[in-house]
Amino acid sequence: MKKSKTPPMKKSDEANEEQLQMALDQGQEYKTALDHMAKEEADDGGEVHIGDYIVAYAVEGAEGMYHMQKGILDWVEPGDENCHIEIAVRDAAD
C-alpha cells in the first residue's frame, strides 16, 4: 500500500487558523489518552501510520462493559471471553 502525504493543515473556507490550532490541540490530548491506554493500561498496544490515518490499538484482559437492554444500560461481566481489543482511528493531520 502506497502511503499518501499527511493532509494539509492550512486555513480554508472550512477552518480558520484558530480552528486549526484547536483541532491540533484536541488531537494531541486524544493522543495522550490513547498512549496512556496502550502503554500504561493494556497488556499490548501501539499505533501505525497508514496513509492519511493513524490506527492505534490496545489489547488487555476481558472486562465487563455496559450493554443497552430495553433502553437501559446494564453492566455485563465477561463470559468466556479472554481479551478486550480497543481500536482508534484518527486523522494524521490533527
Report the predicted TM-score, pTM, of the whole model to 2 decimal places. 0.66
Instruction: pLDDT band for 43, please (50, 70, 90 cuts).
Output: very high
Report the candidate in 57, 63, 61 with the shortest Cα–Cα distance to residue 39. 57
pLDDT tens, 55-87? 999 999 998 989 999 999 999 999 887 898 999
Return the pLDDT at 50.
92
Q: Are strands 65-69 and 53-60 parallel, antiparallel or unpaired?
A: unpaired
| Residues 49 and 92: beta-carbon distance below 8 Å | yes
